[in-house]
Amino acid sequence: MTSFWPRRTALFLLLLAALTGACRSRPQPVAHAYLFEKGAYQAVYDPAGRLLRLLYDGNGDKRADVVTLYGSNGLPQRAEIDSDSDNAIDRWELFGPDGTLLRVGTARGRPGQPDLWEDVDARGRVVGRALDANADGRPERRETFDVGGLVGVDLDTDGDGRVDRWQQWRAGLMTREDLDTDGDGEPDRRLRYDAHGNLLGLERLERLGGKGGAPPSGVNAQR
């Protein structure tokens, strides 16, 4: 005859395990936040009084046109903007640890998908630009600027995610372009231009280890 106590003990252990699992799956409490509204603005603060999020509804349609997220230091980290009130984000702003604007993304084509990113310096001048026409996260064109204007362009002309043309610019004119003609990710040809932007010639580039052969003296371009 089976004893009653072992069965009772087993039943108690099963019940205890079920209760323990239920406690573990119970949602964790959410930290308190405080909401304040004034005019077109709506601000969310944590219990310590730190600003977490700021929303702005410029046209009064009850949809935020600008949403700015703040870090624990009280400075902005990221902003999402609907500049044309079509209920789709078309501008993104990323900030540095000191609250300085670093990058700006723009959706020129598909709503809600940035296809142009610009890096800016402390004065707000564009120092870099990445154009991603199909918004796949792999820019087809990257531009570099200095105080004098455009100085470099990297191109991915076949959409494989690798640069195959490297251009140098000065005073609005191209001075040199390196080409990857065999798709190995390294330049093997070079186009040279004069101070007026006229093509001077094409030459083969020497590669590490002698790959590609010795560069010829150059082939003059027909003008």
pLDDT over 70 at 7, yes or no: no
59-81 residues labelled b (16+ CB within 10 A) or e (exposed) = eeeeebbbbbebeeeeebbebbb
- Tell me the average pLDDT across 183-210: 88
The DSSP code sequence of 80-126 is EE-TTSSSS--EEEEE-TTS-EEEEEE-SSSTT---EEEEE-TTS-E
In terms of average pLDDT, the best of 1-5, 54-58, 213-217 is 54-58
Q: Please state whether 144 falls in left (phi above 0), alpha (psi between -120 and 50) or beta.
A: beta
Give me the phi and psi of 216, to 5 degrees please: -75, 175
Average pLDDT over residues 173-193: 95
Average pLDDT for 12-41: 63
Residue 207 above 80 pLDDT?
A: no
- Owner of token pair 């707000």: 124
pTM given for the model: 0.72
Query: For the residues 186-196, what does the mean pLDDT come to?
Result: 95
Residue, of 142 and 109, whose pLDDT is higher: 142
At 2, is the pLDDT very low, low, confident or very high (cuts 50, 70, 90)? very low
For the cut 80, the answer to whether the pLDDT of residue 97 exceeds it is yes
The region of weakest confidence among 23-37, 99-113, 136-150, 166-180 is: 23-37
161-169 average pLDDT score: 96
